[in-house]
Amino acid sequence: MMLSIAEVLTPEQVAECRQAFERASWQDGRGTAGHQAVKAKANQQLAQDDPLAVQVGDFIVQRLGSHPQFVSAALPLKVLPPRFNRYSDGGTYGNHIDNSIFSVPGSAQRVRSDLSATLFFSEPDEYDGGELVVEDSYGSHRVKLPAGHLVLYPGSSLHRVEPVTRGVRYAAFFWIQSLVREDNQRSMLLELDKAIQALTQQVPDSAELARLTGVYHNLLRHWANT
């Protein structure tokens, strides 16, 4: 499942973050890359303990927790604190697959990367290139969303960021451990939830809604891994 989620942040919130990003101390992104990924990575990142990264990351997690579409699609159990990157002057990140397990800084907690997420902070016309390209069994998907919008995709996907040849691309990226580990099961639950929500608007008094809602929760109870 690959899903775009609109307006996770408002334009005003994006603008405030952008002003802070433009004054931030960015570091070579290769410092956080693994042995193989370091060969493909050419970008900049904020240090994970940078106060700006912590502040904005906490705010993003708070917003996601109250975003119905994100909660319905991801069914989040754990969210790794967001990280932040900057691409410019040909910056790129070649094909790679994210780590399967991440440690939460400053704790013994670990997060399994069932889902990967990118939240855009630059408008598409502000930079050339910089598309997130995700490969799956249905081909290549090129993603370049408006600022404040987020894309969710399976953490097991091969993906890359194309070179940025003009302007600057700012983004947050992070991983989610879902209550439901399998992508196809999450997809079915999302479709069922969307159908229930639509029927609630169209035929709110239907007795079948209770039955469908029961099926949803029984499937979630069966598949959930907590």
Sorted by where each starts, the structural domains of the chain and their CATH numbers stand as: 3-178 (2.60.120.620), 183-223 (4.10.860)
30 marked as binding residue: no
At residue 201, φ and ψ (nearest 5 deg) are -75, -35
Nearest CA-CA partner of 47 in 21, 22, 33, 29:
29
The confidence score (pLDDT) of residue 142 equals 97
117 by Cβ neighbours in 10 Å (0-12 / 13-18 / 19+) ranks as buried
The confidence score (pLDDT) of residue 65 equals 96
Q: Are 154 and 136 in contact (CB under 8 A)?
A: yes
149 marked as binding residue: no
The confidence score (pLDDT) of residue 35 equals 64
159 marked as binding residue: yes
SS3 99: coil
98 marked as binding residue: yes
Distance between CA atoms of residues 11 and 45, nearest Å:
22
Name beta bridge partners: 150.
5, 119
Taking only the tens of pLDDT, the chain with its 226 residues reads 899 999 999 999 999 999 999 999 999 998 776 666 677 899 999 999 999 999 999 999 999 999 999 999 999 999 999 999 999 999 999 999 999 999 998 899 999 999 999 999 999 999 999 999 999 888 899 999 999 999 999 999 999 999 999 999 999 999 999 999 999 999 999 999 999 999 999 999 999 999 999 999 999 999 999 8
Give 23's DSSP letter: T
Give 3's DSSP letter: E
Query: Beta-strand (E) ranges in the chain?
Result: 3-5, 27-28, 41-42, 44-45, 76-79, 83-88, 92-96, 101-103, 110-112, 115-120, 128-129, 132-136, 139-143, 150-154, 158-161, 164-166, 168-178
Q: Report pTM.
A: 0.94
